Amino acid sequence: MKTTIEYKDKSILVLGLAKSGFAAARILTQLGAKVTVNDQKPIDDSPEIQELHNLNIEVIGGGHPPDILERPFDLVVKNPGIPYSNPVLQKAQEKSIPIITEVEIAYHISEAEIIGITGSNGKTTTTTLIYEILKEGQKYPLISGNIGTVACEVAAKTTKAEVLVMELSSFQLMGTRYFKPRISVLLNIFNAHLDYHGTKEEYGKAKANIFKNQTKQDYAVVNADDPFVMELANDANATIVPFSLTRKSENGAYIKNGQIIFKNEPIIDIADIVLPGRHNLENILATIAAVKLYGVSNEAIRRVLQTFTGVKHRLQYIETINGRKIFNDSKATNILATQTAIAAFSEPILLLAGGLDRGNSFDELIPSLKKVKGVIAFGQTADKILDAAREAGINLLKRVDNVEKAVIAAYDMSSEGDVILLSPACASWDQFKTFEQRGDMFVESVHKLKVD
């Protein structure tokens, strides 16, 4: 862990526990800060809470007391999911107390250089691909951030010989002050999280924090096909490295004659890439730009892209059974994600969809459904999805009780050459605790097909 005096002798409030709050509190104490933790939930006797007490960290639970900022705090470290409308955060803003997220701490203590990846869609796939290719190229990467491992916890263990690859959400980036990656990647900007940010402009502004502190010696890998991304990149001081599906770029990654090219150098034939979908080609272009900037060989890039079948639950290839290719896209918890998944295939699709009913219709899905062969629906939204499928002109329809029965029905309705695709367009909480649990059930049911 790099020595820093940024937090020494500071009085710091950590707002919200979860994994990031625990990690931030422990590390800030190691760095010489006086830490107070406040969480919405009542405090229990868990080993984690006991550890904080052993470190002389005060823990206040059972809500966020509005008068907590009557104490003289120098800094607030907030859980990324807590909105700025929270009364404690509003009071902090009134008192001009800086508010950060734990990725800011990660930047200050990381011995390793940082590659930061953000965007509305594709972050996890791109982050994972960059990590895998750097590893194949013997660049000693570590992976962290929004992908599931707390950034500051990983950063505390880094050395100068390593590379810290970080997936970054808008929530995390909004709470940065000095954070500066060596390479930033901005994949795309769609209308997302507007309940948190208010407008697309504010959402984009949060994303653009990824390159606000970069200099000309750093790199910003940006999507030249996304006008909003390029507008944000206009204010970046970093060296811009564009990627594009549609146009040539002398200084970036692009496609020509069925090959991916980086700075006029052929890298790999598209036909050799296993990961399906036009959207994944964008992720791959961004990945290649980032790893080439880090000096990875073309051979290492090709070895990974010829075998990488996707991140678990994100358009993940499972296997082929009697000529039917089967994919798990349980992470598709909204209509846009399912539209993207459907667009990834040219083959006939048997779509498995359904889940939590949030009150919306599925009219937006109808244009995409027109290229689908059949729909098997389950969960609270089953009838709504089947109504949309009928509107799209699909006759091969079935309603079932759960994912297990959906797999059996899809296989029975399919033919050799078809794709069986779980892409629910809904959250999983009507029948599952998480989308991961739903995806695992799907995969287990697929494996049973071979047994049965």
Known binding residues for ATP:
119-125
Residue count of the chain: 452
A 10 A CB-CB count for 321 gives 15
Direct distance between the N- and C-terminal alpha carbons of the chain, in angstroms, rounded to an integer: 53
Return d(Cα 426, Cα 353) in angstroms, integer: 8
Report which of 167, 177, 81, 64 is spatially closest to residue 124, judged by C-alpha positions. 167
Token readout for 311 is 């991140």
CB 165 within 8 A of CB 158: no
CB 396 within 8 A of CB 373: yes
CB 171 within 8 A of CB 81: yes
Rg over CA atoms, the chain: 23
Q: Where are the alpha helices (DSSP H) in 258-402?
A: 278-293, 298-305, 335-343, 366-369, 382-391
Residue 355 contacts by C-beta under 8 Å, 6 or more apart in sequence?
A: 333, 378, 379, 380, 381, 424, 425, 426, 427, 428, 429, 430, 431, 438
Count helices and strands (H / E) in the chain: 17, 20
Report which of 195, 278, 191, 194 is spatially closest to residue 228, judged by C-alpha positions. 191
Task: Give the residues across from 242 on adjacent strands.
Answer: 222
Token readout for 337 is 């994600």
Phi, psi of 142 (to 5 degrees): -125, 150
Return d(Cα 104, Cα 77) in angstroms, integer: 9
Report which of 33, 185, 168, 167 is spatially closest to residue 109, judged by C-alpha positions. 33
Q: Which residue has the tokens 């629906």?
A: 377
